[in-house]
């Protein structure tokens, strides 16, 4: 059965380029990003892992740990990391999971039967500090991930987890947000002391409450 939003992220033990991990224990009380790659030494994924390494401080600022996965082995991963560091002018600073037996890929429904029995779908999971899956994005092999969007989504997920708000189209951190319909008009002043704008009875905006 496919994983859905709100499901507990499956726990697993695996070898990685930074040593063995038990996934839930490794996450601790932090948020997580787990993303898969079809195989080592693939061109688009080389750029993605480089981009991820360069964003280390941005992930840390958001209390997020990152792990990548491919179904190749540790020795292959280590060779690939040298290429990533060289071509992307960075240093890979997060674990890459070795999943030769495809155990993790199958747990997370990452295998792509229409392409190959080996290749994983290029899936990305954002996992909350409650170990629940908050977001799933799947990309085709030809399209590199947008890591600015991934950070934006994390900002939205962390904000909306703590306040009765939602984020509108194209929202960025610091912009106005939407008050959820569950909040009654008479309760807005107490919950949102910065004030609000009533565009329609169902559309009420307020300045981002944690800024």
The pLDDT value given to residue 114? 52
CA distance 65 to 89: 21
Residue 61 lies in a domain: yes
Helix runs in 39-184, H state only: 43-54, 56-61, 74-88, 103-107, 147-162
List, as one string, the DSSP characters of 5-62: TTSBPPP-EEEETT--EEHHHHHTTSEEEEEE-SSTT-HHHHHHHHHHHHTHHHHHHT
Give CB contacts under 8 A, 24+ apart, made by 97-101: 97/14, 97/15, 97/16, 97/21, 97/67, 97/68, 97/69, 97/70, 98/14, 98/15, 98/16, 98/17, 98/70, 98/72, 98/73, 98/74, 99/14, 99/69, 99/70, 99/71, 100/71, 100/72, 100/73
Residue 20 lies in a domain: yes
Residue 5 lies in a domain: no
SS3 157: helix
Angle at alpha carbon of residue 89, lines to 136 and 127, rounded to 5°: 20
**50 and 98 together in one domain:** yes
Domain extent, residue 188, equals: 163-206
**21 and 50 together in one domain:** yes
pLDDT of the chain along its 211 residues, tens only? 589 999 999 999 999 999 999 999 999 999 999 999 888 998 999 999 999 999 999 999 999 999 999 889 999 999 999 999 999 999 999 999 999 888 998 899 887 655 555 555 689 999 999 999 999 998 887 889 999 999 999 999 999 999 999 999 999 999 999 999 999 999 999 999 999 999 999 999 999 999 8
The pLDDT value given to residue 38? 80
Q: Number of C-alpha atoms within 13 angstroms, CB side, residue 184?
A: 2
DSSP conformational letter for 120 = B
Number of domains in the chain: 2
Q: CATH number for the domain including 70? A: 3.40.30.10
The pLDDT value given to residue 71? 87
The pLDDT value given to residue 95? 97
**99 and 200 together in one domain:** no
Q: Is the Cβ–Cβ distance between 84 and 94 less than 8 Å?
A: no
Q: CATH number for the domain including 175? A: 3.30.1020.10
Give the active site residues: 45
**196 and 110 together in one domain:** no
**99 and 188 together in one domain:** no
Residue 78 lies in a domain: yes
Residue 152 lies in a domain: no
Q: What are phi and psi of 21, to 5 degrees?
A: -135, 150
Q: Number of C-alpha atoms within 13 angstroms, CB side, residue 149?
A: 9
Query: In the numeric block, which tokens belong to residue 171?
Result: 């929202």
Query: In the numeric block, which tokens belong to residue 52?
Result: 């991820």
**90 and 140 together in one domain:** yes
The pLDDT value given to residue 116? 52
**138 and 199 together in one domain:** no
Residue 1 lies in a domain: no
**97 and 33 together in one domain:** yes
C-alpha closest to that of 36 among 124, 95, 117: 124
């Amino acid at each position: 059965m496919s994983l859905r939003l709100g499901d507990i992220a499956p726990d697993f033990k695996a070898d990685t380029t930074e040593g063995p991990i038990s996934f839930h224990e490794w996450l601790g009380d932090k948020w997580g990003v787990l993303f898969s790659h079809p195989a080592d030494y693939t061109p688009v994924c080389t750029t993605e892992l480089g981009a991820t390494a360069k964003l280390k401080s941005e992930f840390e600022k958001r209390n997020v740990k990152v792990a990548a996965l491919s179904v190749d082995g540790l020795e292959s991963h280590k060779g690939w990391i040298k290429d990533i560091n060289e071509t992307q002018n960075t240093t890979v600073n997060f674990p890459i999971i070795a999943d030769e037996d495809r155990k993790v890929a199958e747990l997370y429904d990452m295998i792509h039967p229409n392409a190959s029995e080996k290749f994983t779908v290029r899936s990305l999971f954002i996992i909350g500090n409650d170990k629940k899956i908050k977001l799933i994005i799947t990309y085709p092999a030809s399209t590199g991930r947008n890591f600015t969007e991934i950070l934006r989504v994390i900002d939205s997920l962390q904000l909306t987890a703590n306040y009765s708000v939602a984020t509108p189209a194209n929202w960025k951190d610091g912009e106005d947000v939407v008050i959820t319909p569950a909040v009654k008009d008479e309760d807005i002043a107490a919950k949102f002391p910065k004030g609000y704008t009533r565009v329609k009875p169902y559309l009420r905006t307020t300045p981002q409450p944690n800024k």
